[in-house]
C-alpha cells in the first residue's frame, strides 16, 4: 500500500531546522531529522569558511545516494540536484527540496530514516574537507576510552596505505609489540579475512575484542618473501603519552600523542626526573615527535611553551577572527639545546610544537618533512551518542605561514625511511640528534 509521507522543513530565526512528518496515521520518529538540522546549523555557523546552503544540501543528497545505491539514478535524486542548483531558491525552499528527496529515498529503499539522516550528514561533511566527519556512537565510545588513557585490543597505531592497514608503531610492551609486530608491517588479514578496502575505524574494530581472546594476524613485511602469521591475545592497553630515558649525557623524551589532557604534566615530570638522573652532565634534550599525529591544541601549546620563555606559539584563524596562543610557564629545559625528531607522520599539534621551536631558534629539527595538518577540528555533539567533528580553525605559524598542506621542513634531513626502526635497531634520526647535541 502506498504510504503518504509528508515532510516540511523550515529555518527558524535562530537557524534551527524543524521538521514535521506523518506516515498515514502513524507518527514517524522525527529525531533523525532533528539531528540533521542540528548538524546543518553547526556547519552554517561554525565551519572555518562560509558554505552555501545549496552546496551543503547537494552534498547531503550525494551522501544518501552513496549509502543507498538504488537512489543514484532515481528521478528524485536528479530532480533534487537540479532544483538545488536553482539560484532563485530561498533557504526554506531548499530545505523543502531536500525534505522531498528524503521522502522519496525512504519510500524507494529499505533504509531507516536514522540511517538516511546519518548518510546525509556524512555527505555534507565529506564535501567540506577530509578531516570533518560524522562520529558514530561506536566512535564516540572509542574516543572516551582513548581520552581516559587506555584502550582494549592489541596496541597498534595504524594508518591506511594503498587500501590496507599499515603499522605506524606498536605501543611499547602491548600485546602486538610483545608478539613481534614491527613499524612498517602491513596487516593483510585478521583470522583469515582480508582487510583490503576497510576504513581505519573498521580495521581497528576488527582487532578489538574481549580481554584474553586470541586473534591471528597475517602480516606482509619488507624483506620477508612469505607472509608472517602471529597469534596475539588481546589485552587492556595502557597508553603512555610521554616516555623518556637518558642516552649517556643527553635526555631523550618521546611524546607520542597529544590526545590526553595532561601531556604537559607528564612532560614536566619527565624533565624533573631526567634532571635528577643526569645531574650537571646533561648536555641537552631530544624531543621525539615522530608518528605523533596530534590531538588537543591546548596541550600542544603548553608543550611548545615548556621550552621558550614567552611569545606566540601559534595563530588560530577562524571564520571571523584570529586568536594568538601564547607561551606561558617558562623554559623547563633551562636553555639547554634541543633537537626535535620529525617525520611524515608528525601532524597537527606535533607540527605546532616543531614549527614554533624552529621559528624561535630554540631547537634543531631533524628527520623529514611533516604531514601538513594545519587545521583544528571541534567536536559538536548532536545528542548523547552522536557528534560531528568539524574544521573550525586554521593553524598558522607565529609568522603567519600556513601549516596546512605544507608541513614543517627539518633543518637536518636524514635520508632514511620515515618508519620508526624496530626496538634495538639502529636509529639514524636519533644518532644524528645525539651527534648535533654532543658537538655543541
We report the CATH number of the domain holding residue 223 as 2.30.42.10
Same domain for 392 and 246: yes
**Most confidently modeled of 67-76, 81-90, 236-245?**
67-76
**Under a CB-based contact definition with an 8 Å cutoff, are residues 57 and 98 in contact?**
yes
Same domain for 205 and 341: no
Rounded Cα distance, 121 and 38, in Å: 10
Rounded Cα distance, 208 and 239, in Å: 15
State the total domains in the chain: 3
- Domain around 308: 242-438
Same domain for 277 and 320: yes
Q: What single DSSP character describes residue 420?
A: P
Same domain for 294 and 224: no
**pLDDT exceeding 90 applies to what percent of the chain?**
59
Same domain for 385 and 249: yes
| Those residues with Cβ within 8 angstroms of residue 130's Cβ, 6 or more apart along the chain or in another chain | none
Same domain for 297 and 233: no
pLDDT above 60 (res 374): yes
Rounded Cα distance, 56 and 91, in Å: 11
Same domain for 270 and 175: no
Rounded Cα distance, 89 and 136, in Å: 32
Same domain for 9 and 115: yes
**What cell numbers appear for 17 in the block?**
531546522
DSSP line for 262-276? THHHHHHHHHHHHHH
3 state SS of 324: strand
**Under a CB-based contact definition with an 8 Å cutoff, are residues 184 and 417 in contact?**
yes
Rounded Cα distance, 47 and 380, in Å: 11
For residue 143, being part of any structural domain is answered with no
Rounded Cα distance, 54 and 16, in Å: 16
Same domain for 331 and 434: yes
For residue 139, being part of any structural domain is answered with no
How confident is the model over 179-197, as pLDDT tens digits?
A: 999 988 999 999 999 999 8
Same domain for 403 and 255: yes
**pLDDT exceeding 70 applies to what percent of the chain?**
89
- Based on its alpha-carbon atoms, the radius of gyration of the chain, rounded to whole angstroms, reads 25
How confident is the model over 35-68, as pLDDT tens digits?
A: 999 999 999 999 999 999 999 999 999 999 999 9
Q: What's residue 199's pLDDT?
A: 78
For residue 284, being part of any structural domain is answered with yes
Domain stop point among 238, 263, 285: 238
pLDDT above 70 (res 208): yes
Amino acid at each position: 500500500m502506498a504510504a503518504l509521507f509528508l515532510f516540511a522543513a523550515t529555518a527558524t530565526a535562530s537557524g534551527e531546522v524543524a521538521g514535521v512528518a506523518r506516515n498515514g496515521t502513524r507518527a514517524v520518529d522525527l529525531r533523525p531529522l532533528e539531528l540533521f538540522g542540528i548538524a546543518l546549523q553547526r556547519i552554517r555557523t561554525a565551519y572555518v569558511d562560509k558554505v552555501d546552503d545549496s552546496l551543503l544540501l547537494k552534498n547531503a543528497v550525494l551522501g544518501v545516494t552513496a549509502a543507498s545505491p538504488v537512489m543514484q539514478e532515481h528521478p528524485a535524486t536528479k530532480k533534487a540536484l537540479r532544483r538545488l542548483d536553482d539560484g532563485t531558491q530561498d533557504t526554506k525552499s531548499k530545505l523543502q527540496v531536500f525534505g522531498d528527496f528524503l521522502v522519496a529515498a525512504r519510500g524507494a529503499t529499505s533504509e531507516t530514516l536514522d540511517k538516511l539522516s546519518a548518510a546525509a550528514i556524512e555527505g555534507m561533511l565529506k564535501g567540506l574537507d577530509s578531516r570533518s566527519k560524522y562520529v558514530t556512537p561506536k566512535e564516540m565510545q572509542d574516543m572516551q576510552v582513548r581520552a581516559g588513557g587506555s584502550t582494549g585490543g592489541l596496541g597498534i597505531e595504524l594508518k591506511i596505505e594503498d587500501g590496507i592497514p599499515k603499522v605506524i608503531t606498536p605501543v611499547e610492551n602491548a600485546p602486538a609489540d610483545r608478539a613481534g609486530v614491527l613499524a612498517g608491517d602491513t596487516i593483510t588479514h585478521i583470522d583469515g579475512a582480508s582487510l583490503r578496502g576497510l576504513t581505519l575505524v573498521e580495521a581497528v574494530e576488527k582487532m578489538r575484542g574481549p580481554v584474553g581472546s586470541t586473534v591471528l594476524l597475517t602480516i606482509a613485511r619488507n624483506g620477508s618473501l612469505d607472509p608472517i602469521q602471529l597469534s596475539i591475545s588481546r589485552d587492556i592497553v595502557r597508553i603512555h603519552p610521554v616516555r623518556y630515558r637518558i642516552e649517556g649525557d643527553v635526555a631523550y623524551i618521546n611524546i607520542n600523542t597529544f590526545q590526553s589532557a595532561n601531556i604537559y604534566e607528564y612532560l614536566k615530570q619527565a624533565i624533573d626526573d631526567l634532571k635528577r638522573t643526569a645531574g650537571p652532565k646533561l648536555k641537552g634534550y631530544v624531543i621525539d615527535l615522530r608518528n605523533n599525529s596530534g590531538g588537543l591544541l591546548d596541550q600542544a601549546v603548553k608543550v611548545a611553551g615548556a621550552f621558550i620563555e614567552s611569545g606566540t606559539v601559534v595563530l588560530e584563524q577562524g571564520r571571523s577572527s584570529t586568536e594568538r596562543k601564547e607561551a606561558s610557564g617558562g623554559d623547563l629545559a633551562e636553555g639547554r639545546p634541543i633537537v626535535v625528531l620529525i617525520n611524515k607522520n608528525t601532524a597537527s599539534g606535533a607540527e605546532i610544537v616543531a614549527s614554533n621551536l624552529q621559528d624561535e631558534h630554540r631547537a634543531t629539527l631533524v628527520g623529514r618533512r611533516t604531514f601538513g595538518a594545519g587545521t583544528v577540528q571541534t567536536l559538536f555533539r548532536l545528542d548523547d551518542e552522536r557528534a560531528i567533528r568539524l574544521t573550525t580553525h586554521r593553524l598558522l605559524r607565529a609568522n603567519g605561514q600556513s601549516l596546512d598542506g605544507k608541513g614543517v621542513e627539518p633543518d637536518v634531513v636524514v635520508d632514511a625511511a620515515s618508519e620508526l626502526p624496530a626496538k634495538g635497531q639502529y636509529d639514524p634520526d636519533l644518532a644524528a640528534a645525539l651527534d648535533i647535541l654532543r658537538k655543541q
